[in-house]
Amino acid sequence: MTVLEQPGAYRPTPPPGWQPRVEAAPLLPDAEPYRLLGTAAAADISPDLLTRLHRELVRGRRYNTQATALTRQGRLAVYPSSTGQEACQVAAGLVLEDRDWLFPSYRDTLAAVVRGLDPVDALTLLRGDWHSGYDPHEHRVAPLCTPLATQLPHAVGLAHAARLKGDDVVALALVGDGGTSEGDFHEALNFAAVWHAPVVFLVQNNGFAISVPLAKQTAAPSLAHKAVGYGMPGRLVDGNDVAAVHQVLAEAVRRARGGGGPTLVEAVTYRIDAHTNADDATRYRPDSEVEAWQAHDPIALLEDAMRDRRLLDDEGVRAARESAERLAADLRTRMHQDAVLDPMELFEHVYADRTGQLREQAAQLRAELDAEAGDSGKGE
């Protein structure tokens, strides 16, 4: 028998003065992901909210398929699709007040668009023109973040700063299941809990980090369980149930705004498409798994629930689809125009004031461009 196996050996008498700091139990997530659609409680959700969620879900799906098509046409360098995860994206995009901040990762373009970003501006990173095509302050959306989990401490810092200034601003930070393994995830959650920062962390657990399944990512009972160790509540929710995700996030946001500190939410969902258009998902997962999840589609779940409550009919579905087609058409038209980029802008915004060095290099590039233009002029 090892020391750890001896009954009681691991539970020494507490030292004098030891007090439990918090009741552990309220922090623990439920064993099962929280579902709302199809339950009796769903009757309380406002029809307006459901209609809004539905419209955004349908538009979001269309946005994903259109963006994926644009990669095939060479108009986007890469697109990490959120097809199948639209419920998380829509809920995250709608749940915040204007003054709040969203901290997305590279897969979260849709959440940013739902929050109000221009769909084309949201894609510049992935198109390859500029790293970020929008001013983060305009809609309070931080730049889409590619290095995993590195945006999480930013969210904590921003929320902390807002609180120091007396503003009741909440930050919602998005991360994937894989990203929860990074050190930055740990540091962000720990800071948030210690500082009692008004932050909500939403983990979209879509089953895979590129090819690596959750079982190889973590041995935790759920990612929501990780919250307990930091001293914040963990909530587990069905990530394809848009009403449930919205409700859980809304509660967490309310709690944060009211001074209750951070929450970790794990939404259990699935990445229907490959990691990006460059990935071959057949190498690491069977089609049958994808099909099983397609049977749990976020749009179908919501439409069924809404039809049950007579909040949606064929006409309503058609209206949402038309709105989605308009979005897609607009995206297509504008993305089919070549981006006009001025190479001289390479030297903009490296520093507030251009250094002498960069002025020299700009002059060099200017001369090269002029020579190029001269050469091509000669040929005509």
Ligand X SMILES: Cc1ncc(C[n+]2csc(CCOP(=O)(O)OP(=O)(O)O)c2C)c(N)n1
Q: Which residues bind another protein (CB under 8 A)?
A: 77-78, 124-131, 146-148, 178-179, 181-184, 209-212, 216-218, 278-279, 283-284, 339, 341, 343, 345-347, 350, 355, 357-358, 360-361, 363-365, 367-368
Near ligand X by CB under 6 A: residue from 267, 271, 306, 331: 271
Instruction: Please tell me the distance from the alpha carbon of residue 213 to that of residue 286, in angstroms, as a whole number.
Output: 12
Is residue 131 within 8 Å of residue 143, measured between CB atoms? yes
Q: Where do we find the tokens 């125009």?
A: 337
Q: How far is the CB of 296 from another protein (least distance, A)?
A: 24
Residue type, position 298, single letter = P
Residue type, position 20, single letter = P
The entry of another protein, ligand X, none near residue 368 (CB within 5 to 8 angstroms by kind) is another protein
Q: Where do we find the tokens 């889409």?
A: 144
- From residue 9 to residue 38, the character string flagging contacts with ligand X as x (rule: CB under 6 A) and all else as - is ------------------------------
* Residues binding ligand X: number (CB under 6 A): 14
Q: Which is nearer to ligand X, 103 or 208 (CB)?
A: 208
Token code pair at residue 288: 């049958």
Q: Which run of H or E residues covers position 208? A: strand 208-209
Helix (H, G, I), strand (E, B) or coil at 323: helix
Per CB under 6 A, does 208 bind ligand X? yes
Q: Which is nearer to another protein, 73 or 355 (CB)?
A: 355
Token code pair at residue 341: 């980029």
Q: Which is nearer to ligand X, 204 or 311 (CB)?
A: 204
Closest C-alpha among 230, 149, 239 to residue 197: 230
**CA torsion, ordered 160, 162, 167, 173, to nearest 10 deg:** -80
80 CB-near residues (< 8 Å, 6+ apart) = 106, 107, 126, 275, 276
Q: How far is the CB of 127 from ligand X (least distance, A)?
A: 18
Q: Which run of H or E residues covers position 332? A: helix 314-335
Per CB under 6 A, does 104 bind ligand X? no
Is residue 206 within 8 Å of residue 266, measured between CB atoms? no
Instruction: Please tell me the distance from the alpha carbon of residue 354 to that of residue 151, in angstroms, as a whole number.
Output: 27
- From residue 126 to residue 165, the character string flagging contacts with ligand X as x (rule: CB under 6 A) and all else as - is --------------------xxx-----------------
Token code pair at residue 198: 């008004």
31 — phi, psi (to 5°)? -70, -30
Checking 126-134 for CB contacts under 8 A at 24+ apart, the result is 126/67, 126/76, 126/77, 126/78, 126/79, 126/80, 127/75, 127/76, 127/77, 127/335, 127/339, 128/76, 128/77, 129/339, 129/341
Q: Which is nearer to another protein, 130 or 195 (CB)?
A: 130
24 CB-near residues (< 8 Å, 6+ apart) = 228
Per CB under 6 A, does 206 bind ligand X? yes
Name the segment binding ligand X (CB under 6 A); options: 18-26, 69-77, 134-142, 175-183: 175-183
Q: How far is the CB of 207 from another protein (least distance, A)?
A: 14
The entry of another protein, ligand X, none near residue 258 (CB within 5 to 8 angstroms by kind) is none
Q: How far is the CB of 110 from ligand X (least distance, A)?
A: 12
The entry of ligand X, another protein, none near residue 161 (CB within 5 to 8 angstroms by kind) is none
The entry of another protein, ligand X, none near residue 183 (CB within 5 to 8 angstroms by kind) is another protein
Per CB under 6 A, does 226 bind ligand X? no
Q: How far is the CB of 181 from ligand X (least distance, A)?
A: 8
Per CB under 6 A, does 176 bind ligand X? yes
Q: Which is nearer to another protein, 342 or 380 (CB)?
A: 342
Name the segment binding ligand X (CB under 6 A); options: 170-178, 189-197, 237-245, 320-328: 170-178
Name the segment binding ligand X (CB under 6 A); options: 119-127, 201-209, 311-319, 336-344: 201-209
Q: How far is the CB of 82 from ligand X (least distance, A)?
A: 8
Instruction: Please tell me the distance from the alpha carbon of residue 85 to that of residue 87, in angstroms, as a whole number.
Output: 5
Instruction: Kindly list the residues in this chain that would bind ligand X in the complex (CB under 6 A).
Output: 107, 146-148, 176-179, 206, 208-210, 271, 275
